[in-house]
């Protein structure tokens, strides 16, 4: 089997979409399946055994980490020479939209998976007049694909309500061996806590940008005694956040990866996630696997993984009082932090990546077989 994967974002950028794609590529390679990635040209020409077909583009003003541009005739010829049996589109837009057309020309089945709520994102950036176009494009492209997938029940319902006719589920998993409480480190905790390891360390991992609503965490630090905040990641809002949190116990760690990231998760106390926009929120499950209770807004897949009062607390996005209260309920007792952390870890252990990835491989095989029957 040969699989072509189209994405609007890829390495060296690091985000939830890239993480899931790399995990899928690793799984497909382990299964002996050949892969090729069609992505923005960012200097990466190969991921392990997978060639990356770069698409030239320009920097996106509102999202400077991205480059956007349509595939070229060269892209099509390289794709054709790869001879894919199926094409998978990670939230098709510009590259994916043209890629769908290429796949149709090649007569191969197509899968489109939802990873980014573009319509809500443009509203957040105060360019909501684009939202109807984004909604139409999402509906058209996902209906054009042979199979459409959502990462959570909430997003599945939203897609169906928007006019996507049939939507399956492709849930997210976690590497519970890598994200594990055993990676707790006194040295890392000292770094996270700014040298105050006996206080309650609140952790956020992800992009530092406006839609993550990280400014909502300031009242938590002001109203819940003994709490400190660590932000792992980077992004366009970092300078503003550094000014906002000046004088407060906040540590900016920048991007972490590998063992350092695993240690950061395991060495904190509570994971906080006030985001306004999310399709799943992979970092929430990673934090739970590391043994952290969660206080998160009800976005994306949060409702699928956080059990209220058992593994954490959820709140409506933007409800600062509920965010503060959720942290207060957990942070007020070391015993409660530990108890909820154990429950979070136990749930995460049931959410394995291999099972989730095998589901997508089975879908590829079913679509290929269905296409074979139609042409014979």
Domain spans, the chain: 2-173+352-375, 181-348
CA–CA distances in Å: residue 49 to residues 26, 36, 86, 269: 9, 9, 18, 38
Task: Assess contact for 131 and 122: CB atoms under 8 A.
Answer: yes
Judge if 2-173+352-375 and 181-348 fold alike in CATH terms.
yes
pLDDT tens digits, 311-362: 999 999 999 999 999 999 999 899 999 999 999 999 999 998 998 999 999 9
Over residues 116-129, mean pLDDT: 60
**CATH for 181-348?**
3.40.50.2000
pLDDT exceeds cutoff 60 at 119? no
Task: Assess contact for 76 and 6: CB atoms under 8 A.
Answer: no
Per-residue model confidence (pLDDT) at position 76 = 97
Q: Which of 62-66, 171-175, 306-310 has the lowest mean pLDDT?
A: 62-66
pLDDT tens digits, 157-207: 999 999 999 999 998 899 999 999 999 999 999 999 999 999 999 999 999
Per-residue model confidence (pLDDT) at position 131 = 66
pLDDT exceeds cutoff 60 at 22? yes
Q: How far is CA 70 from the centre of its chain?
A: 24
pLDDT tens digits, 75-106: 999 999 999 999 999 999 999 999 999 999 99
Q: Phi then psi for 336, rounded to 5 degrees?
A: -70, -40
Model confidence band, residue 302 (pLDDT cutoffs 50, 70, 90): very high
pLDDT tens digits, 33-54: 999 999 999 999 999 999 999 9
Predicted model pTM? 0.78
Model confidence band, residue 376 (pLDDT cutoffs 50, 70, 90): confident
**CATH for 2-173+352-375?**
3.40.50.2000
């Amino acid at each position: 089997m040969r699989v072509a994967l189209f994405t609007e974002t890829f390495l060296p950028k690091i985000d939830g979409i890239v993480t899931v794609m790399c995990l899928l590529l690793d799984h497909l390679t382990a299964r002996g399946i050949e892969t090729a990635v069609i992505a923005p040209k960012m200097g990466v020409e190969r991921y392990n055994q997978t060639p990356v077909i770069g698409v030239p583009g320009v920097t996106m003003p509102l999202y400077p980490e991205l480059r956007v541009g349509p595939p070229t005739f060269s892209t099509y010829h390289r794709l054709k020479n790869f001879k894919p049996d199926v094409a998978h589109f990670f939230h098709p837009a510009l590259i994916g939209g043209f890629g769908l057309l290429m796949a149709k020309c090649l007569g191969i089945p197509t899968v489109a998976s939802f990873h980014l709520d573009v319509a809500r994102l443009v509203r957040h950036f105060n360019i909501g007049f684009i939202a109807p176009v984004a909604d139409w494009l999402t509906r058209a492209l996902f209906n054009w694909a042979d199979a459409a997938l959502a990462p959570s029940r909430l997003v599945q319902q939203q897609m169906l309500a928007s006019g996507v006719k049939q939507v399956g589920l492709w849930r997210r998993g976690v590497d519970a061996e890598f994200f594990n409480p055993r990676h707790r480190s006194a040295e890392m905790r000292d770094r996270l806590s700014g040298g105050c390891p006996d206080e309650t360390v609140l952790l956020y991992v992800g992009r530092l940008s406006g839609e993550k609503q990280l400014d909502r965490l300031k009242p938590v630090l002001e109203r819940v005694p003994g709490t400190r905040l660590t932000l792992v990641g980077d992004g366009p809002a970092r300078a503003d956040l550094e000014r906002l949190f000046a004088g407060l116990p906040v540590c900016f760690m920048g991007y972490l990866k590998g063992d350092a990231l695993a240690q950061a998760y395991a060495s904190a106390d509570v994971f906080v996630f006030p985001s306004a926009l999310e399709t799943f929120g992979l970092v929430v499950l990673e934090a739970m696997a590391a043994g952290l209770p969660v206080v998160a807004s009800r976005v994306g897949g949060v409702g699928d993984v956080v059990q209220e009062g058992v593994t954490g607390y959820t709140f409506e996005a933007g409800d600062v009082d509920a965010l503060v209260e959720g942290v207060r309920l957990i942070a007020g007792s070391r015993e409660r932090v530990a108890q909820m952390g154990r429950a979070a870890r136990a749930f995460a252990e049931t959410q394995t990546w291999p099972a989730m990835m095998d589901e997508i491989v089975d879908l590829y095989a079913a679509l290929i077989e269905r296409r074979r029957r139609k042409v014979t």
